[in-house]
Chain A
Amino acid sequence: MSAPIALGVLAIALAWPVPLLLARSAWPRRSPAAALVLWQAIAVAGGLSMIGALLTFGLAPFGTDLLSAVVNLFTGGVQRIESANAIALCGAVLLAGHLLLNLVTTIVRAERQRRRHAQLVTLLSSPLDGGTRLIDSPAPVAYCLPGALSTVTVVSAGLIALLEDDEMHAVIEHEKAHATQRHDIVLVLFRAWYASLPWFPIAFRAQREVGMLIEMLADDRARRVVDDTVLARAIALVGSGRGETSVEWGEAATVREASSRIVRLEAVPLPRIAESGIVAIAVLLLAIPTVLLLTPVVAALAQ
């Protein structure tokens, strides 16, 4: 019975207190890359331990390890099953199905939206050099449209009128970082997490926090080519360099996000050793549920 309990405790910890603590911490702004790795580990390990806890509890009467329990379940090795185990088993199957289905629909919807948006951009913009396109709009916007085959960076006439050349350079570098590092994939994963568990108190914050860390990561790329003060002005003027079509951000959230991005330019980055420690914690988080689920199987196979 120890594996279901351990997995259950881990699932509860990763569903609420741990992400809440991370969302409230200040250090992620000092190392957005390490924080993003940790967020992803929390999401995946959380889902794995939630399903794993239900599965191991539900299958407990059928065998000591997952593999033999599943074999017994289908070959009818056990005649009677407690209703609690049956409910847990159904819960595991439903939860896994729900998470997968939501991931697929979120990806499909995002892709459909991206394609429609790309069609509009093709018809309404003219090409500039370097994979950038210009839309003839007075609103100052810049964003990237990542695609499987080609990525387009879109800037508006209003943005060009608003920014000095070096600020424009910062914005373009920022958007290119989104495209080359495929930040859209991470965003879709967290949007799917939020879509599957909207009643989770932390899911919305996780998505918002991850969105912000991604912006900071792209800012760090832009800082390689321009001064912090130039980048700060560009961030303040653009408000938000995000072209995400399905994340609804209020004006206040946009300003708060932009000011956080500027303020943290003065923060000292975390030392290398601390970053390595955070990545090690992320690996550990993923390893714990995996080991809890698979060790009995390996032990049974070894016998």
Chain B
Amino acid sequence: MLTLGELERSVMELIWASDHSLSAYDIIEAMPERKLASTTILTVLSRLENKGFVVRERTSRPHLYRAEGSREEHMADLMHEVLGGASDRAAVLERFVGQVSPDEAAILRRLLSS
């Protein structure tokens, strides 16, 4: 049994990956193994719309949905809220030790080298 959150994520992945707007039926067809009811998908889409992740285009029938902001933009938002840094192990440690006082650095080197 898939949780609502996981279903939202699968739907969002499809919308992000698509280069054009999708209808609920496009999404159901893209996930045939899930055997999803159209009401379920419409619920998920309206939740995503309320949260501001998708925009509904009401000019056509059926309604079409496109992403509000790319996956990369949302990821950048997310990472902006948490702290980031380089991912080179030696460089991170070196930079770290380089920024503290000599006394502290000595203790750090002793602790870190053992």
Within 214-239 of A, Cβ neighbours of B (below 8 Å) are at 228-229, 232-233, 236-237, 239
Within 45-95 of B, Cβ neighbours of A (below 8 Å) are at 51, 53, 71, 74-75, 77-79, 81-85, 87, 89, 92-93
- Residues on A with C-beta less than 8 A from B100 are 255-256, 259
- Assess the B108–A120 pair: CB atoms within 8 A: no
A181 at the interface (CB under 8 A from B): no
CA distance A160 to B32 in the complex (A): 33
Pick from A117, A135, A259: contact of B108, CB under 8 Å: A259
Pick from A117, A162, A233, A252: contact of B81, CB under 8 Å: A117
B12 at the interface (CB under 8 A from A): yes
A266 at the interface (CB under 8 A from B): yes
Q: What are 12 contact pairs spanning A and B, CB under 8 A?
A: A120-B78, A123-B74, A137-B75, A140-B84, A141-B84, A162-B92, A229-B111, A232-B111, A232-B112, A237-B89, A243-B82, A255-B99
Tally inter-chain residue pairs, CB-CB below 8 A: 104
A262 at the interface (CB under 8 A from B): yes
A106 at the interface (CB under 8 A from B): no
Distance between B114 CB and nearest chain A CB, rounded to angstroms: 5
A169 at the interface (CB under 8 A from B): no
Which residue, A143, A233, A265, has most C-beta atoms of chain B within 10 A?
Answer: A233
Q: Name the CB-closest residue of A to B13.
A: A123
- Assess the B87–A239 pair: CB atoms within 8 A: no
Distance between A63 CB and nearest chain B CB, rounded to angstroms: 52
Size of interface on B: residues with Cβ below 8 Å to A: 32
CA distance A91 to B84 in the complex (A): 44
Give me the 9 closest cross-chain CB pairs, A-B, nearest first: A139-B84, A259-B100, A232-B111, A122-B5, A158-B87, A255-B99, A245-B81, A120-B78, A141-B82
CA distance A109 to B24 in the complex (A): 34
Q: Name the CB-closest residue of B to A256.
A: B100
CA distance A85 to B93 in the complex (A): 60
- Residues on A with C-beta less than 8 A from B96 are 236-237, 239, 255, 258-259
Q: Name the CB-closest residue of A to B78.
A: A120
B37 at the interface (CB under 8 A from A): no
Q: Name the CB-closest residue of B to A137.
A: B79
B1 at the interface (CB under 8 A from A): no
Known: A138-B87, A242-B83, A243-B82. Contact between A236 and B112, CB under 8 A?
Answer: yes
CA distance A141 to B81 in the complex (A): 11
A263 at the interface (CB under 8 A from B): yes
Known: A162-B87, A259-B100, A266-B107. Contact between A233 and B78, CB under 8 A?
Answer: no
Q: Name the CB-closest residue of A to B51.
A: A119
**Known contacts A137-B75, A236-B112; 17 further A-B pairs (Cβ under 8 A):** A117-B81, A122-B9, A123-B9, A124-B71, A124-B78, A127-B6, A140-B84, A140-B85, A141-B82, A161-B87, A162-B92, A236-B92, A236-B108, A240-B83, A259-B108, A262-B107, A266-B111
A249 at the interface (CB under 8 A from B): yes
Which residue, A117, A141, A266, has most C-beta atoms of chain B within 10 A?
Answer: A141
B104 at the interface (CB under 8 A from A): yes
